[in-house]
Every structure is written in structure tokens, then in C-alpha cells.
Structure 1
Amino acid sequence: MKTLSRLSAIAIAAMMATTVASGFTRPAQSATLSGGFDVGPGGFQGNFNPLAATAGFTWLSIYFEPLVAYDAKLQKTVGVLASSYEISPDQLTYAFKLADAKWHDGKPFTANDAKFTIGLAKNAKTGSVLAARLSPVSAVEAPDEHTLVIKLSAPSASLIDTLTKVMMLPEHALSSIPADQLAKSPWWSTSPIGTGAFKFTKYVNDQYVELAANTDYRGGKPALEKIINRYFADPAAAIAALRAGEIQFTYVDSNDVPTFKDDTSFQVIEGNSFVVNYLGFNHESPIWKDLRVRQAVMHAINRDAIIQSLYGGAAKPANCAYVADQLVPKDIDPYAYDPEKAKALLKEAGWDEINGGKPITLLTYYTTPLATNVLAAVQAMLAQVGINVVPRAVDAPTYNSIVLKPDADISQFQLVYAGLQNGPDAGSINVGLNEKQIPPAGPNVVRARIPDLTAALDTALAEPDAAKRDERYRQVCKVMNSQLPWGTLWVANRYGVVSTKVKDFVWTPAPGGGPYEADPQHWSIAE
């Protein structure tokens, strides 16, 4: 049996660099902590529905909770609404013992709620982005109020990782809403209830979301009375609010970090984002059919120069989906910067006849000044070898509406600049590259149909032996590197800045914002 214990925030503060250290004597406390918590400084104002969320779990997990989450180091899973779980020897049955918890309206959280939630998450009609990831689930049972049993049709090494993203939802509040109407229900932004340390009280359109302390929280009464998530038009506005004391925390880009390094009023938190940024070739577009064209794109981009000049060195080049040493074979192609080789490859492939200098739409949902500069550099480098790309930045909902349509217009996104997490669980990359995940089945937005890659991913996900799993993922890396479904670029560090007045605060640069063990009931702020 795996027992999942929640560490106290005081213990985390002593152990982890992601925690702002607490003084011996707790100072007088302010009632409200404000910050730019949700999906970076720009915010994602419609991000209230955890079934549809691909980011923002730093915020969502303050009032919704999953069965399990990662610890603050992203090294292991810990219990949230599950106190323990057992996996059968054939890895087809997962049995969870559930914690005693209550919804924010006072009703008990039960195994039937968990069963109901997994059913919603597995049903694509709800708008769930987790449906494809939960496809191995063949049955969910609730034999008693505190026991949940999940049965699989085949072993899935990534099930626990997927369950960290499944926020538990109340059956009594949502069961009357038809599945195909759930995504657009006003419930998410007006009266949502979860089991977390804080409960939803107010949303002011395009301005902020307010949460109030859940005084009956099983983990203890929160130290704060309120937590407010502010939205900002751009990173500069968030930084100005932070310096003015209007908020106490925000995400920042790497190029903003130097202005805080020597300021004792703030602590900079740094960590691996576990997100690989890539140029995604739309494989339904004829311009990318020849592998030599995709190889030319890789050789045309000076990744080291971009990393040093724009990221300030705070990124690592990626030659497949992974950068972790144990997952990257030593003999893969590093795709060194070589514009002359890029030109030669394009000539061999007949690029002038394939495209003839026509503009290629490069679609992205990254809208920060850093991303704009990165894409300008990529555009200039590709132009030098004869590839004419035109960046188009849109917000995340617009991006998803374009790339996830089953009959998507190829001309709108012949190329994408995007990111997908490559950890903590290596299987996370499967949804973006497996042929079985092509929309509407899943988020393989580049429509990659590479049999060797699908086979390698399937084999890795089904590998029951943890000792052998790294080798399976090394094979995934080899196929990615040689076949180039994406032009992988780098994995960047991620940064947050928090006022040193904030105590016992845990923030981790996790992919999608987590969720991870943060114990917000212990957060406080000195006057």
C-alpha cells in the first residue's frame, strides 16, 4: 500500500527552495493575499473549469482538489483527497482510500463524487481535455463512501499523473447539467464549490477572482481571510502592481528577473518548467511532407543564441521532447546551427517548387514580450534560408478553437509555436504526438501520423516495469529526433517573484501550474 501523507508547510519551508522561509515569531497578519496567480501575468480570465484547463492549476487547486498531487519538488505524488492507494500486481486495478472531507456547502465528499468526476473527465462531450488520457479506464466503482476503485483495460504508466489533473467535482451540484452543456455552464464562474482551503466568493469580469477562507477545512482554519487573483494586461502591469504593493506575487519572464535579484523586498523563485517549446509542423500541410524540409528548419535556427540573448541562459536546448539525462540517448542528432546545410537540404527537397516563397502562418498562444522577441528571431533566421514565416499570436481560447477543430483549416496554422510538458511524468508527451490523439480524440494538433512514434509511445505507456520505462522513453526520443514531428527548441526555466512579507508560501514552477502540494491554509502576510 502506498500511504500518501501531506507535509506541513513549516516542514516544506525548511526543506525546499520554493518556499519563502518563515520567521520564528509570526508577525501581525494582513487578511488578504493578492497576486497574479493564474497562467502568467496576463491571466486567463475564463479559466474556471478544471475539466477544460490546460494551465492555471496554481490557482484552481486552491479551491478544487484532486485525489493526489505532486509534492513541491515534483518528485513524488502525495495524498490530497486520497489517503492511500493500492495497485494490483497486473497494474489493472487501482484502489483508493478517501479522506474525510466536505464540500464548501457542508455536504460530505464521497466516493460517488469521485466516480462522477472521473466519468465527466472521461467524457469528451463535457469539453474535458483529459478524456483521451483516461481512455484506458474501463470501469470506476464506489463500493463504499470512502473507497474508489478504478479498473483499466491495459496498464497505463501515466494514470497517476493524469489523476493529479482531475479536480474532484460535486455530483449533487452538477449531475443535473447535461454533459454537452457543462462546459458553458455559468456555475464555474458564479457558484462553484470544491473541497479546498478557500472557497469561491466573487468574480469581477476581466479584473479579479476572490476566494474566502474555508473555516471548516480539514487541514485547519486558513491563516488568511481572503486570496485574490488579479488579471493584468501584460507582465509590465503585473510587475508595477507588485512593486507598488498592490499584489504580493506574480509570474515573471526570465528577462524581468534581473531587476529583482538584488532587491531584498522580494524573493525570486526559479525552477524547471518541464515544458518543451517547439515548432509544430502541421503534417496535413504538403509543405512539410519531406523530412529534409523539417531538418532544414532545425539547422536554420540558432537556438544557443536565442537562449543566451533572450532567455539570459535560462533554458536548455531540446533535441526531442525530453532534456532529462536518463531519457535522452547520447547518439541523437544535436541539429547544430548550420544555415548553409539548411539551404542545401531545402534545395535537395525542391523547396522553391514546394512553397515558392509563399508566407507560412506561424500560430501561437504565447503573447508576452519575450515570446514576441523569440518569434521575431526565429522568423529572421528562417528567412535567411528562404523560409518565409509570419507569426500570428492569439489568446489561448482562440488558438484552441483553431487547432482542435477536426476539420481545421490548414492555412491558419501551417506551423505552431507551442509548449507541452515533458515531465514530471514522461508519458505526458503522448497526447501531443500519438496518432490516436488527433482531434477530436485528443490534442495532437500537428496531426502527426508517424507509426514508429505511435508504437514507441504505446510501448512506453504500457511498460509495467519502472526499471525498463526509461529505456522505452529513450526510444521515443530517438524516433522524435530522427522523424521530427516537431522542431523541438528548448525547455526554459520559469520564474515567480513574491514579497518577503509573505510567509509559509509555496510556489513551484510546475507544468500547467501543477497541481502540487502548496498548503495554502498556512499562507500569511505580515503587515
Structure 2
Amino acid sequence: MNLKTTISALALSAALFGGLAATPAPAFAEGGTITGGFDVGPGGFQGNFNPLAATSGFTWLVTYFEPLVIYDDKLEKVVGALADSYEISDDQKTYTFKLADTKWHDGKPFTAKDVKFTIDLAKNDKAGSVFAARLGAIESVETPDDRTVVIKLSTATPSMLDTLTKVMVLPEHALASIPVEQIAKNAWWSTSPIGTGPFKFTKYVADQYVELAANPDYRGGKPAAEKLINRYFADPAAAIAALRSGEIQFTYVDSNDVSTFKDDGAFRVIEGNSYVVNYVGFNQEVPLWKDLKVRQAFMHAIDRNAIINSLYGGAAKPANCVYAADRLVPEGIDTYDYDPEKAKQLLAEAGWDKINGDKPITILTYYTSPLVANVLAAMQAMLGQVGINIVPRAVDTPTYNSIVYQQSGNAGEFPLIFAGLQNGPDASNINIGLNEKQIPPAGANLMRIRMPEVTDALDAALAETDASKHDARYQEVCKATNANLPWGTMWVGNRYGVASTKLNDFVWTPAPAGGPYQAHPEKWAIAE
């Protein structure tokens, strides 16, 4: 079987479901239960109810926790959430937030002290926070009164507002007594968490579902739905079957499942930019990848366009650096065209036979969908043709995180990864995966990349306070990652969700890590 035949076969491997007849417009009323797979993956379980340590699942977490500020549902601007308003000083070093008058789910008042407690906790890597390095510029958090928070920075940090959209504010009175070192995995997160959002946490049945109840005292008004339930499915096909049968009203789907819903009046397909660059990460603590020629050979060996067209149905765009947006990609960078003969030549020049030869190399991923299984199988076939023997290993997110975030042990456990990291809506988001200062536990530089040209370009972009120069700064980041290949960047794909037309005022935005963004879950309603 030749390579094109292999890819064609893989493209047809997903099972198709039959359509349903269109139904009359439903009547909506208050009450009822809305059930869905609300995390990033198809009914996926982010494996962490702690928003300071979670790397996904914010679509769900934001229904009961809230940040100070949040993106709107178009991911275009940052608006107030727990902050009614905010101001940034001319030197961009002082942020002043005026807080909303609201209460925690247990009836205790929400105050500025909760914000200070949360930020201090989020800055502390002993708490297992993934935000520690990103909040490092915060010099002080002042609380002149219960309704005002003033955050002062040691240096202007234009990405700070974007970071604060992801920091869910936590109750000091409920968590202050827990030792910092014990907070990350404390049972509180999955048994009795309290937030300020429109729904209250009521129940978690391990690996099955989480149930929330309407918060009648929510400052935005009593929610239209009585309950929200987030179900978990190990198999994406099971989530799609549950959607079709009416057991759930929403789930994320892969691009190759979209065609089965497009012309079905019982469902609404939601499509948008994922803002996620999928990449192959080369663990820099593994000698295999030290020679740039090996990393270049890896890129030339993979026919990205064939995979995009055959497996993603064209719903992705090749990424030749860590960005794919036209405004961030300068002219003249290497496009790493598919060229297996060049890949073989580069490997020969690097002495691949002596470095590794045909020994199997594990490529670890947390993507467990049939689509990604097919993508990795196609990569395996292509790389095999030039003499690189990869073996895919797919695990759940908690297992993946326990391996790649380890601070000691055998780096050979993950010589390669296939993963994704957000490159928007703020271009600074990519920093956590590439900057030397973000090596765990400080951040998500999982490949332990120590490339001065990449770090310097990122630092310069992060420090740029003139908005008119941001794009040019991030073009330099693009050039540095294209030339040095800390990752083998593959593509940026579209993301899809499918919602039942029984839902009204339901907002879901394709967003990296699930957002968060302004979805107004208190308005979601379901037909009788």
C-alpha cells in the first residue's frame, strides 16, 4: 500500500451517523436540566477541578468560578467579570479594579481580600499554579477598600490582562487554612468548591459527571436552567451517539464528524479558529534532537498538506512557525516543504544511523480521538520512509501531565510529544511553552527548550508597550522558532462544537483551553 492509499484509508476510518428529520421550533421555559460534554475535548475530562492548575476545561469551570476580567464571546476584547470596571495607568504598571457587589455560593461576601489571596496563591509555584511565572511581574496587590483592588507591576507587562482572564478568583475563607503545598490536589476542588458564578457545585460522580445547580442569588439574575451536568466520555463516538439520542445537548466534535451534522435541522454546528498550533515537541534533554538538521529532516519528512486535506478535510492551515495568522508571519521564512529525499540527506549529514538508526521513539500525546490516531499513523508512515521510527502512545490528560511536568526522572519517557498550545487570541500566550523561564514548575515549557534566540525574541515581544509594534515583535518570534525549530510546528486547525436546537441562548466559542470567555450560562435554556 503506498502512502497516498494509506492516508485515503485513514481518512475514511471514522464511522458516519445517519441524519435526523428537522423538528418544529421548540418552546422554551425556565427550569430543566442541560447536559453536555462542556470541556475542550469530546465530553473530555480535564482531570483537574483546580482552575489554578488546570490546562483545559475552562468552558465548564467558568460556570461556577469567575475571573476578574474575561474575553467577550468573540475573543476580541477583555471586559469585566468580577470587576465591574478597570483602569490601566499610562505607564502600564498599575491596574485598578472596581469590584462587583456579589456573594460566594455559601453566602459570604466577596471582597478585595479574596482577589489578593487568589493572586498571591497563583504566584506561588508551591501551590501547583501554572500561572506562577506569568504573574511574576506583579510587585504588590493592594486592597484600599472591599470594592477596590490595585495591582502594581515591577515592569510593564502588556500580556497581564490576558493572563488575568484565566485566573479564577477563589474564596479566602474556604482555602486559607489549607497548607499551600496541599492545595493543588486537595479534595475540596471536587467535593465542596464554592465560587461566585451562576451555578453552584453539587455533585461529582468519579469519571462520570459533574452536576451544578442554579444559583438563585446570582447578581446577573436567577439562571434559566435548573441544573447543568457535564458528562465524561472515554470514547468520542459515545459522546456523539449520546448527542444524537438526546442524552446530552452539546459536545465538541472533530472536523471529520462535522459533515454528519451539517444538514441536520436538529443540530447547530459551531465553527471557529482554534487558536491552537499543533506541534511535535522535541525534548531538548534527549540527545536525539540536539542537531538542528535532525529537526529539519523531521519537518521535511511529513506531508502536512496531505494530512490536512485527507484527514482534517481541509479544516486547518499549515504552521511554519508558532503562528499561522498572516499578520504575524513574515515573508521569507522556511516553509519546510514535503521533501523526503532532502530529509534523508539531512539525516545522513547528522549521522542519524549512529544517533539512533531505526530504534523506536515514543511520541506521547493526550489526544485520544480517532482523528489524531489517524494523523499519528500517517506521520509514522511518512517518517518511516526516511528512517525515523516513531511509536504513538496516547494517554489521558492527567497521565500526560504527570509525565511531562515531572521535575526529575527519566526524560526519555517523552522524547517526543504531539500536543497543542494556544497562539491566540493574544500572541503572548505561546510564551509559556517556549521561554526558558517557563521550564516546569514555572510554566509549560515541557520540552525544556533553552534557545537564547527564541527566549530573547519572546522577552522583547512581551516587554513591548507600543501596541503598533506588537505584530513586528511577534514576527521576530516567528522567525526565531522557524529557524531554530524548538517544535516541529504542524498546523492550526478549526474547532467545532455541535449543539441541539433544543437549546436557546446557548453560547459556545471555539477557544483554546475552553476559554474562558463571556458565555452567560445563566441565560442558557432548554425546550420542554
TM-score where L is the length of structure 2: 0.94
Structure 1 stretches of 4+ moved >3 Å = 23-30
The residue number in structure 2 matching 1:62 is 63
The residue number in structure 1 matching 2:133 is 132
Contact kept in structure 2, 1:222 and 1:521, CA below 8 Å: yes
Q: For residues 121-143 of structure 1, what are the alpha-carbon distances to aligned partners after superposition, in whole Å with 9 as ceiling and x for unaligned?
A: 11111111111111111111111
Q: Identify unmatched segments of 5+ residues in structure 1.
A: 1-22
Cα distance between partner residues in 2 of 1:453 and 1:34: 43
The residue number in structure 2 matching 1:374 is 375
The residue number in structure 2 matching 1:236 is 237
* Residue 426 (structure 1) aligned with residue 422 (structure 2): no
Cα distance between partner residues in 1 of 2:72 and 2:133: 25
Q: For residues 320-375 of structure 1, what are the alpha-carbon distances to aligned partners after superposition, in whole Å with 9 as ceiling and x for unaligned?
A: 11111111101111111111111111111111111122111111111111111111
The residue number in structure 1 matching 2:513 is 512
Identify the range of structure 1 (478-487 vs 408-417) with the bigger mean alpha-carbon deviation: 408-417
The residue number in structure 1 matching 2:254 is 253
The residue number in structure 2 matching 1:446 is 447
TM-superposed deviation, 1:30: 5.2
Q: For residues 300-329 of structure 1, what are the alpha-carbon distances to aligned partners after superposition, in whole Å with 9 as ceiling and x for unaligned?
A: 000000001111111110011111111110
The residue number in structure 2 matching 1:87 is 88
Aligned residue runs from structure 1 range 124-163, under 5 A: 124-163=125-164
Contact kept in structure 2, 1:283 and 1:289, CA below 8 Å: yes
Contact kept in structure 2, 1:87 and 1:93, CA below 8 Å: yes
TM-superposed deviation, 1:205: 1.2
Contact kept in structure 1, 2:43 and 2:252, CA below 8 Å: no
The residue number in structure 2 matching 1:166 is 167
Q: For 1:55, what is the secondary structure of its paired residue?
A: coil
Contact kept in structure 1, 2:130 and 2:442, CA below 8 Å: no
TM-superposed deviation, 1:410: 2.2
Cα distance between partner residues in 1 of 2:318 and 2:26: 44
Query: Letter of the aligned partner of 2:299 in structure 1?
Result: M
Q: For 2:264, what is the secondary structure of its paired residue?
A: coil
Contact kept in structure 1, 2:26 and 2:502, CA below 8 Å: no
Q: Identify unmatched segments of 5+ residues in structure 2.
A: 1-23
The residue number in structure 2 matching 1:202 is 203
TM-superposed deviation, 1:25: 9.9
Q: Judging changes above 3 Å, is the alpha-carbon distance between structure 1 residues 27 and 441 closer, same or farther for their aligned structure 2 residues?
A: closer
TM-superposed deviation, 1:407: 2.0
Cα distance between partner residues in 2 of 1:90 and 1:389: 50
Contact kept in structure 2, 1:297 and 1:487, CA below 8 Å: yes
Contact kept in structure 1, 2:118 and 2:172, CA below 8 Å: yes
Cα distance between partner residues in 2 of 1:509 and 1:142: 35
Cα distance between partner residues in 2 of 1:296 and 1:42: 36
Aligned residue runs from structure 1 range 408-427, under 5 A: 408-427=409-428
The residue number in structure 2 matching 1:221 is 222
Q: For residues 252-307 of structure 1, what are the alpha-carbon distances to aligned partners after superposition, in whole Å with 9 as ceiling and x for unaligned?
A: 11111111011100000011110000000111111111111100000000000000
The residue number in structure 1 matching 2:272 is 271
Query: Letter of the aligned partner of 2:103 in structure 1?
Result: K
Cα distance between partner residues in 2 of 1:422 and 1:323: 9
Q: Judging changes above 3 Å, is the alpha-carbon distance between structure 1 residues 26 and 243 closer, same or farther for their aligned structure 2 residues?
A: closer
Cα distance between partner residues in 2 of 1:178 and 1:28: 45
* Residue 477 (structure 1) aligned with residue 482 (structure 2): no
Q: For residues 435-494 of structure 1, what are the alpha-carbon distances to aligned partners after superposition, in whole Å with 9 as ceiling and x for unaligned?
A: 111122221111111101111000000111111111100000000001100000001111
Contact kept in structure 2, 1:275 and 1:492, CA below 8 Å: yes
Query: Letter of the aligned partner of 1:504 in structure 2?
Result: D
The residue number in structure 2 matching 1:122 is 123
Cα distance between partner residues in 1 of 2:307 and 2:93: 45
Cα distance between partner residues in 2 of 1:29 and 1:441: 45
Cα distance between partner residues in 2 of 1:120 and 1:304: 44
RMSD: 1.3
Q: How many residues are treated as equivalent by the alignment?
A: 505
Cα distance between partner residues in 2 of 1:437 and 1:171: 27
Contact kept in structure 2, 1:241 and 1:247, CA below 8 Å: yes
Q: For 1:100, what is the secondary structure of its paired residue?
A: coil
Q: For residues 6-40 of structure 1, what are the alpha-carbon distances to aligned partners after superposition, in whole Å with 9 as ceiling and x for unaligned?
A: xxxxxxxxxxxxxxxxx999634551100011232
The residue number in structure 1 matching 2:16 is none
Contact kept in structure 2, 1:65 and 1:81, CA below 8 Å: yes
* Residue 306 (structure 1) aligned with residue 307 (structure 2): yes
The residue number in structure 2 matching 1:352 is 353
Cα distance between partner residues in 1 of 2:257 and 2:46: 23
TM-superposed deviation, 1:378: 0.7
Query: Letter of the aligned partner of 1:116 in structure 2?
Result: F
The residue number in structure 1 matching 2:466 is 465
Cα distance between partner residues in 2 of 1:24 and 1:88: 50
Contact kept in structure 1, 2:46 and 2:57, CA below 8 Å: no
Q: For 2:461, what is the secondary structure of its paired residue?
A: helix
Q: Judging changes above 3 Å, is the alpha-carbon distance between structure 1 residues 28 and 404 closer, same or farther for their aligned structure 2 residues?
A: closer
Identify the range of structure 1 (81-90 vs 514-523) with the bigger mean alpha-carbon deviation: 81-90
Contact kept in structure 2, 1:282 and 1:413, CA below 8 Å: yes
Cα distance between partner residues in 2 of 1:472 and 1:181: 40
Q: For 2:274, what is the secondary structure of its paired residue?
A: strand
The residue number in structure 2 matching 1:362 is 363
Contact kept in structure 2, 1:402 and 1:408, CA below 8 Å: no
Contact kept in structure 1, 2:320 and 2:489, CA below 8 Å: yes
Q: Judging changes above 3 Å, is the alpha-carbon distance between structure 1 residues 214 and 389 closer, same or farther for their aligned structure 2 residues?
A: same
The residue number in structure 2 matching 1:292 is 293
Contact kept in structure 2, 1:30 and 1:526, CA below 8 Å: no
* Residue 282 (structure 1) aligned with residue 283 (structure 2): yes
Q: For 2:28, what is the secondary structure of its paired residue?
A: coil
Query: Letter of the aligned partner of 1:121 in structure 2?
Result: A
Q: For residues 229-273 of structure 1, what are the alpha-carbon distances to aligned partners after superposition, in whole Å with 9 as ceiling and x for unaligned?
A: 111121111111111111111111111111101110000001111
Q: For 1:59, what is the secondary structure of its paired residue?
A: helix
Contact kept in structure 2, 1:279 and 1:417, CA below 8 Å: yes
TM-score where L is the length of structure 1: 0.94
Q: Judging changes above 3 Å, is the alpha-carbon distance between structure 1 residues 58 and 183 closer, same or farther for their aligned structure 2 residues?
A: same
Contact kept in structure 2, 1:503 and 1:525, CA below 8 Å: yes
The residue number in structure 2 matching 1:385 is 386
The residue number in structure 2 matching 1:211 is 212
Contact kept in structure 1, 2:366 and 2:395, CA below 8 Å: yes
Query: Letter of the aligned partner of 2:428 in structure 1?
Result: G
TM-superposed deviation, 1:391: 1.1
TM-superposed deviation, 1:84: 1.4
Contact kept in structure 2, 1:280 and 1:418, CA below 8 Å: yes
Q: For 2:498, what is the secondary structure of its paired residue?
A: strand
Q: For 1:377, what is the secondary structure of its paired residue?
A: helix
Q: Judging changes above 3 Å, is the alpha-carbon distance between structure 1 residues 45 and 456 closer, same or farther for their aligned structure 2 residues?
A: closer
Tell me the percent identity.
73
* Residue 175 (structure 1) aligned with residue 176 (structure 2): yes
Cα distance between partner residues in 1 of 2:300 and 2:280: 13
Identify the range of structure 1 (393-402 vs 211-220) with the bigger mean alpha-carbon deviation: 393-402
Q: For 1:39, what is the secondary structure of its paired residue?
A: coil
Contact kept in structure 2, 1:45 and 1:206, CA below 8 Å: no
Q: For 1:280, what is the secondary structure of its paired residue?
A: strand
Q: For residues 123-165 of structure 1, what are the alpha-carbon distances to aligned partners after superposition, in whole Å with 9 as ceiling and x for unaligned?
A: 1111111111111111111111111111111111210111011
TM-superposed deviation, 1:92: 1.2
Cα distance between partner residues in 1 of 2:65 and 2:87: 24
